[in-house]
């Protein structure tokens, strides 16, 4: 969805809210930004002749030699995963005026986390010629697999370590493709166990019609408006997949227009009209010489979303990714799909509909199973449906970026995913 990028740009004018009170602060400028407080490694892996992929490996705070290996990918396409590192589930949080603060709910509390900028040309990753820019997730997956093999050669402690691929938004397309590529390449040293995707962009055909359902439920459009778009939608069901998707592109913008024409709203979090991050601050941070030195990418230019990468992709792609998910499940790879329920863009209704439509073995059992309460620390934090190796979780009071909005619950969620047990948390 092109709007993902547009919104990032538009919202960049906002400011970050103040940081939590009474929290221990560390990593002030004069103390070296707090980088030293974590055990990390960063750099690029060269994949000749195409370019390089940048990684930041943050080792576990608990038991790095035995804890699982988790990869986090932001979406876009073309969005740097450094956003996840500093704004979502990483050990450092970028707060006002460029200081770092400790994230006590960082995912590296329980796992080694690898943040990767991909495909070529994203974030700190490079591309040696525009002909090597990838055009879809299947191409991206081929290079990501090669990257991973090289990474494990460089860090052999992750050979055969249980691996979980996690990410958000457009990573909903990358991750199943990568999983499929790992399977196709017979795993080699890669011990893929599961995939977790938050507010994923999986299949516009299934997700877009739910936009008006969600908008109506949240009083963003009227019943009449919803009915009208629904009738149009039903007519479009007669079209073939390819034609239908082009109509959905219009449909998407139509609903978008209805929602946004008379109000200021954050499409990533309908509870607010302002943004929660400051693109300029992130950009300054990652373009700072001394930060780049610490990340082994001296003299690079970093942007949050690479338009060069983004523009290669068709955001309303007609390829079905469900088959990649089906293949994974049939090989015993776990899928965990979660959705912050305050996100309009990749809203939970669309993701629920997609989860009910994949077509894996036991799909019907999953689809008809009842939601159960998801409690974290004695508080109702969401609801989930679970069957065997497939779980869908609706996270309450979170927008598009679940780890940003619900840090503690998102850590609990990772824990449950790794244990494959969502029933009793903490």
Residues marked as catalytic: 169, 343, 400
- Minimum CB distance to ligand NAG smaller for 185 or for 372: 185
Q: Which of 129, 130, 250, 290 binds ligand NAG (CB under 6 A)?
A: 290
Q: Which of 12, 128, 189, 288 binds ligand NAG (CB under 6 A)?
A: 288
**Shortest distance, CB of residue 368 to ligand NAG, whole angstroms?**
17
**Shortest distance, CB of residue 193 to ligand NAG, whole angstroms?**
6
Q: Which of 12, 128, 150, 185 binds ligand NAG (CB under 6 A)?
A: 185
Residue 246's CB: how many other CB atoms inside 10 A?
13
Catalogue the long-range contacts made by 268-273 (C-beta closer than 8 Å, 24 or more residues apart).
268/7, 268/11, 268/343, 268/344, 268/345, 268/399, 268/400, 268/401, 269/340, 269/342, 269/343, 269/399, 269/400, 269/405, 270/218, 270/220, 270/342, 270/343, 270/344, 270/399, 271/342, 271/397, 271/399
**Shortest distance, CB of residue 29 to ligand NAG, whole angstroms?**
5
- Minimum CB distance to ligand NAG smaller for 320 or for 387: 387
| Separation CA 362–CA 143 (nearest Å) | 32
| Separation CA 70–CA 195 (nearest Å) | 10
Contact yes or no for 109/32 (Cβ under 8 A): no
Q: Which of 65, 186, 261, 299 binds ligand NAG (CB under 6 A)?
A: 186
First to last CA, the chain: 36
Contact yes or no for 360/326 (Cβ under 8 A): yes
Query: 385 burial class (0-12, 13-18, 19+ CB within 10 angstroms)?
Result: buried
Q: Which of 11, 33, 94, 384 binds ligand NAG (CB under 6 A)?
A: 33
| Separation CA 34–CA 338 (nearest Å) | 31
**Shortest distance, CB of residue 335 to ligand NAG, whole angstroms?**
10
- Minimum CB distance to ligand NAG smaller for 137 or for 281: 281
Residues within window 99-138 making contact with ligand NAG, judged by CB under 6 A: none
- Minimum CB distance to ligand NAG smaller for 145 or for 244: 145
**Shortest distance, CB of residue 332 to ligand NAG, whole angstroms?**
4
| Separation CA 351–CA 354 (nearest Å) | 5
Q: Is residue 332 part of the contact set for ligand NAG (CB under 6 A)?
A: yes
- Minimum CB distance to ligand NAG smaller for 175 or for 346: 175
Site string for ligand NAG, 65-94 (x = CB under 6 A): ------------------------------
**Shortest distance, CB of residue 163 to ligand NAG, whole angstroms?**
12
Contact yes or no for 73/165 (Cβ under 8 A): yes
Q: Contacts with ligand NAG: how many residues (CB under 6 A)?
A: 10
Q: Which two tokens stand for residue 264?
A: 């200021």
Q: Is residue 307 part of the contact set for ligand NAG (CB under 6 A)?
A: no
- Minimum CB distance to ligand NAG smaller for 44 or for 145: 145
In angstroms, the Cα distances linking 28 to 18, 35, 160, 180, 344 are 15, 10, 38, 43, 35
Q: Which of 29, 154, 159, 246 binds ligand NAG (CB under 6 A)?
A: 29
Q: Is residue 389 part of the contact set for ligand NAG (CB under 6 A)?
A: yes
**Shortest distance, CB of residue 419 to ligand NAG, whole angstroms?**
12
Residue-wise burial string across 249-263, b where 16 or more C-beta atoms lie within 10 A, e elsewhere: bebbebbbebbeeee
- Minimum CB distance to ligand NAG smaller for 185 or for 369: 185
| Separation CA 204–CA 187 (nearest Å) | 30
Helices 348-355 and 210-217: crossing angle, nearest 10°? 130
Residues lying near ligand NAG in the complex (CB under 6 A) are found at: 29, 33, 185-186, 288, 290, 332, 334, 388-389
């Amino acid at each position: 969805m092109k709007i993902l990028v547009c919104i990032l740009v538009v919202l960049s004018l906002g400011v970050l809210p103040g940081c939590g009170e009474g929290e221990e602060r560390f990593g002030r400028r004069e103390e070296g930004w707090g980088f030293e407080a974590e055990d990390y490694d960063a750099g690029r892996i060269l994949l000749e002749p195409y370019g390089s992929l940048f990684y930041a490996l943050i080792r576990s705070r608990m038991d790095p030699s035995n804890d699982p290996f988790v990869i986090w990918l932001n979406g876009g396409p073309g969005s740097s995963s450094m956003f996840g590192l500093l704004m979502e589930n990483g050990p450092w949080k970028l707060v006002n005026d460029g200081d770092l603060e400790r994230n006590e709910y960082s995912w590296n509390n329980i796992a080694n986390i690898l943040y990767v900028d991909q495909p070529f040309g994203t974030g700190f990753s490079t591309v040696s010629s525009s002909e090597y820019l990838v055009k879809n997730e299947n191409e991206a997956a081929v290079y990501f697999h090669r990257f991973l093999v090289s990474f494990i050669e460089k860090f052999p402690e992750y050979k055969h370590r249980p691996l979980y691929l996690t990410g958000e938004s457009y990573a909903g397309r990358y991750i199943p493709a990568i999983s499929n590529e790992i399977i196709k390449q017979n795993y080699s040293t890669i011990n893929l166990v599961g995939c977790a995707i938050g507010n994923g962009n999986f299949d516009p055909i299934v997700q877009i019609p739910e936009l008006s359902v969600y908008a109506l439920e949240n009083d963003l459009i009227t019943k009449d408006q919803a009915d009208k778009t629904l009738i149009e939608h039903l007519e479009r069901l007669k079209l073939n997949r390819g034609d239908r998707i082009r109509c959905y592109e219009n449909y998407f913008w139509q609903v978008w227009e209805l929602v946004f024409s008379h109000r200021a709203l954050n499409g990533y979090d309908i509870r607010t009209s302002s943004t929660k991050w400051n693109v300029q601050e992130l950009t300054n941070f990652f373009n700072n010489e001394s930060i780049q030195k610490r990340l082994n990418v001296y003299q690079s230019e970093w942007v949050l979303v690479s338009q060069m990468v983004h523009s290669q992709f068709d955001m309303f792609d007609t390829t079905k990714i469900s088959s990649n998910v089906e293949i994974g499940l049939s090989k015993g790879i776990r899928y965990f799909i979660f959705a912050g329920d305050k996100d309009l863009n990749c809203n939970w209704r669309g993701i629920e509909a997609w989860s009910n439509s994949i077509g894996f073995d036991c799909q019907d059992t999953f689809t008809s199973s009842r939601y159960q309460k998801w409690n974290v620390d004695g508080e109702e934090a969401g609801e989930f449906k679970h069957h065997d190796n497939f779980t869908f979780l609706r996270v309450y009071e979170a927008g598009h970026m679940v780890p940003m909005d619900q840090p503690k619950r998102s850590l609990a969620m990772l824990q449950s995913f790794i244990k494959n047990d969502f029933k009793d948390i903490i």
